[in-house]
Amino acid sequence: MTRLDRSNTVLVVIDVQEKLMPVIDAGEDVVRNIDRLVRGCHLLGIPAILTEQYARGLGPTVAAIRNAFDETTGYRPIEKNCFSAQRCDAFTAQLAALERKQVLVAGVETHVCVYQSIIDLIGADYDVTVVADAVSSRTQQNKSIALQRLMSEGTKISSTEMALFELLVRSGSEEFRAVARLVK
């Protein structure tokens, strides 16, 4: 098993959009955890990629996540029409340019765009970890089924805190204090 390594990891945030989030199970918790991931990864020097599915219909990324990107790496979403981000040329080009093989995934919906993106990322030889408390679907059942399928396909499962502290590796630094403030 390979641990998450900050020099080899990229965060991918999938489709956390204005018209979709009001119907997502535990949507507020998911947004809060994604915000923590975006900010925590930025503190640790980990790049992040943001996607939006059919933005004309589903709207832009929700304000909290848009702000987290604005304040860290910049809000530059990749618009896609395929469910899998990995089937979008702009996404695959941006991911390849980063030259990192570990992908930390958050977003919605777990059983559609998150699931299909992860399956295609695994097929492209990426080591994928899904952040279970930073993904969701309209129903808890769809999320649960998707996470079970993803685990059976070789995806690692983590939580927001677990992933950030795994990437951090040790305590006692200013990075540790900053990440600890984020998750408390």
**Active-site annotation holds for 88:** no
**Active-site annotation holds for 35:** no
Catalytic residue among 35, 80, 88, 156: 80
**Active-site annotation holds for 29:** no
Radius of gyration of the chain (CA): 15
Catalytic residue among 15, 35, 120, 127: 15
Q: Phi and psi dihedrals of 12, rounded to 5?
A: -120, 120
Nearest partner of 68 among 40, 29, 107, 102, judged by Cα: 40
d(CA 2, CA 58): 36
Catalytic residue among 113, 120, 133, 156: 113
DSSP 8-state code for residue 125: T
- Residues assigned a catalytic role: 15, 80, 113
